[in-house]
Amino acid sequence: MKSLSVNVLDKADEEFADTLIELGLKRNVAKVLTYLKNVKEVTSRDLEMGSDLRQPEVSIAMRELEELGWIAEREEKKPGKGRPYKIYQLKTSIDEIIEYLENQKRKESQAMMASIKRLKELSR
């Protein structure tokens, strides 16, 4: 039997992911993003084990992060036969991602405040 060493999310990482969730990210996306911020690159299998997510959950999260343009993906051939495995890394810095989220929440807040202002005007 082989012994594997995989980094896992710690308490501070869980708090980081929870905060991303509070900002509106889906749980799986938040956990994957948190894991990716801590590593240079990671295989999909290590990402599954380290973030405590199943393969379909990681795949869906990666698709969403890819649509946002935040990750890079490449394939690497395994020795011998079998499918190549995917290797992921962040291509957008975590600071830029936080800034993006901040701007999104600012826009949402401004839209809500405009709606409240309009309600006040209409109620007179």
Q: How many domains does the chain have?
A: 2
- What's the domain range around 51? 11-92
Quote the pLDDT of residue 2.
47
Report the alpha-carbon distance of residue 30 to residue 16 in Å, rounded: 8
- Residues in the chain with pLDDT values less than 50: 1-3
Quote the pLDDT of residue 4.
56
Full-model pTM: 0.83
Residues 61 and 18 in one domain: yes
- Nearest CA to 10 out of 27, 32, 35, 29 is that of 35
Radius of gyration of the chain (CA): 19
Residues 105 and 64 in one domain: no
Q: Strand pairing partners for 87? A: 43, 74
Report the alpha-carbon distance of residue 52 to residue 75 in Å, rounded: 22
| Percent of the chain clearing pLDDT 90 (strictly above) | 75
Residues 17 and 39 in one domain: yes
CA distances from 57 to 61, 93, 106 (A): 6, 23, 29
Quote the pLDDT of residue 107.
96
Q: Which two tokens stand for residue 29?
A: 């996306």
